[in-house]
Structure 1
Amino acid sequence: MKKIIVPIDFSEHSEFALRTAAKLARNHNAELLVLHMLEMSDIMLTASGGLQNQKTLFFLQLAEQKFKEFLSKDYLNGLMIVPIIKHFKVFSEVNDVAIKNGADLIVMGSQGTNAENGFFVGSNTERVVRHADIPVLVVKNDLIDSNFDSVVFASDFSENAIQPYLKAVKLFDQIGAKMSFVNVNLPSDRFKSSLEIEKTVVNFFTKAERSLDRMKDVHYVSDYTVEDGILNLANKIGADMIAIPTHGKKGLARFFEGSIGEDVANHATLPVMTFKI
């Protein structure tokens, strides 16, 4: 892991992400790219009038000053930091910045779910996840430890999940995390027998690695929802993170019917890392 990019908006949750990214960068001697998306209208950016130019310059200088103050944290001392300010258009541009700079990981803060009405509050985070070609780590709390020694990778073990699985193995091997795997069996029309599940898992690892060594780390869980099965398994084994494949622009983690990944990312207290299919 050479470069980590962190989009910030000066909120509490973006600082949670920055602090987590700083710990990862320090642990792995990585460069930290801190990105602020400055929200300015196209009219203001393209206007030729003197007053508009003065307003644009004023807001740019204000953002740069606030950015500088936000980055004056003790926990950032000694790190290689590259501040980046971009004009806000769409949050898919975060992926463009990440790819242009050769980033290995995006770390973003999110509020998760509004308990009263259940909608996804961190909509910008969701947009980044949907467009990101590289892994995205979603953080909702100020993590005491970001070593991530134990990770649960949720999968249906279909062939579509092989590529994100290989990406996850490569990244987690780099940071020294132990991977466990979970497959959730439901009491519905998607119910599978133990033999059917095992055949699917054998086929998955055979095609992915030509080895069945990791089958010993697979947990077969029966639960009422896939989300509950993933979260309960993660809590049971004391995981530090949940990892989920995603279908990018089609939405979060639709390797099951419905938006399982979105539900997990919303409701999990643990950090959630997504890998694009």
Structure 2
Amino acid sequence: MKHIIVPIDFSKESINGLRLAITFANRFNCDIQMVYVQKYPTDLTPGRFEEEHRSAEQKFEELLTEYSPKMLESANLSFIVKKGKIYREVVNQAHAFEDSVIVCSTHGASGFEEFFIGSNAFRIISATDCPVVTIRHGSMPRDIQKIVLPIDITTDTRQKVPVTAEFAKAFNAEVHVIGVATLQTDEIDLKLNAYTKQVCNYLKERDIRFQTASLRGDNITDITIEYALDVNADLVSIMTEQNIALSDFVLFSYAQQMLSKSPIPVLSVTPK
């Protein structure tokens, strides 16, 4: 990780994203760039549009004054004001740098809204191949000591392991490798055991502490979150599905439910 991109709309939730990004930056010794995007096309008059731009720059200067001292001297905190579609401009900014991670707030959800994606955080995740860490209301860890790494029977499930290991190594965190499934059959158990063993060997070779567990339940999201809360985890690492139509953001998949429901920050990794 060399750069962290943080979408900012100056809400309390987006500032939590910045605070979490600083925690990461201080461990990885990397730079942070905050991004504010003015919606364009806009109904604002040219004068009001320029006023919004100046106001954003002024607020960013205040954030620099408050948060730059919290970063390592070798790291840089900067900002940029862009115009366009919010999720697209944030993704473009992340892709402009090598080895970037995006940290952003999902702004939370409740009731039926848990199963409908409308926020830019979810659009960002589906539009980039960069790792994305999302944070909801009140889930601001000061350190990453335990990471939950759910492993399922899909072939892509292990692709998140190298990125997760990077985070674990940087924080000297313990990884909880959990085999998850909705059914318990000999075939599923064999595959999960084989995948879990491969992951544990990968972690062992890198001197990363780990524990293992096997979970079964009707809803993989719920049993993963319940386990993460039980062990006081600070991060959950998941794979995200690609090729999700932006016009059809309905949350029924495991990954999408996790992003919407987890009270713990979620690291989302895109399958290659």
Q: Answer whether TM exceeds 0.5 for this pair.
A: yes
What is the deviation of 1:145? 3.5
Q: 1:167 to 1:260 in 2, by over 3 A?
A: same
CA distance in 2, matches of 1:192, 1:202: 12
How far is 1:20 from its partner? Answer: 1.1
How does the TM-score come out when normalised to structure 2? 0.81
Q: What residue in structure 2 maps to residue 82 of structure 1?
A: 78
Q: Matches of 2:216 and 2:200 in 1, distance apart?
A: 26
1:36 deviates by 1.0
CA 1:43–1:229: 2 relative to 1, 3 Å: closer
The CA distance in 2 between the partners of 1:265 and 1:35, in whole Å, is: 21
* SS of corresponding position for 1:77: helix
Q: 1:213 to 1:68 in 2, by over 3 A?
A: closer
Counterpart of 2:23? 23
Query: What letter matches 2:38 in structure 1?
Result: L
Match of 1:126 among 114, 122, 126: 122
Write the letter of the residue equivalent to 2:187: E
Q: Aligned residues, how many?
A: 259
Q: Distance in 1 between matches of 2:28 and 2:263?
A: 24
Offset of 1:141 from its aligned partner?
3.5
The offset of 1:84, in angstroms, is 1.3
Which of 165, 189, 193 is the equivalent residue of 1:169?
A: 165
The answer for the alignment partner of 2:192 in structure 1 is 201
Q: Which amino acid aligns with 1:192?
A: Q
Distance in 1 (alpha carbons) for counterparts of 2:18 and 2:141: 13
CA gap of 1:103–1:39, structure 2 versus 1, over 3 A, is: farther
For 2:11 and 2:62, the matched residues in 1 are separated by: 13
- 2:26 equivalent to 1:33: no
Task: Mark the CA change 1:100 to 1:112 in structure 2 (over 3 Å): closer, same or farther.
Answer: same
- Tell me if 1:221 matches 2:215: yes
Structure 2 stretches lacking a partner, 5+ long: none
Does 2:184 correspond to 1:192? yes
Match of 2:108 among 84, 109, 112: 112
Cα 1:108–1:212 change in 2 (3 A) is: closer
- Which secondary structure state, in structure 2, belongs to the residue aligned with residue 221 of structure 1? strand
Distance in 2 (CA, whole Å) between partners of 1:96 and 1:262 is 22
Please point out which of 142, 148, 155 is paired with 2:151.
Answer: 155
Partner AA of 1:77 in structure 2: P
Unaligned stretches of 5+ residues in structure 1 = 45-50
Tell me the CA shift for residue 274 of structure 1.
0.5
TM-score normalised by L of structure 1: 0.80
Question: Larger Cα Rg: Structure 1 or Structure 2?
Answer: 1
Summarize the Cα distance change of 1:170–1:91 in structure 2 as closer, same or farther, 3 Å threshold: same
CA contact 2:152–2:179 (8 Å) conserved in 1:
yes
Q: Are the equivalent residues in 2 in contact too, given 1:155–1:181 (CA < 8 A)?
A: yes
CA deviations 1:28-65 (Å, max 9, x no partner) are 32211111112232687xxxxxx84x554333223222
Give the distance between the partners of 2:113 and 2:195, measured in 1 at CA.
Answer: 38
Q: 1:149 to 1:157 in 2, by over 3 A?
A: farther
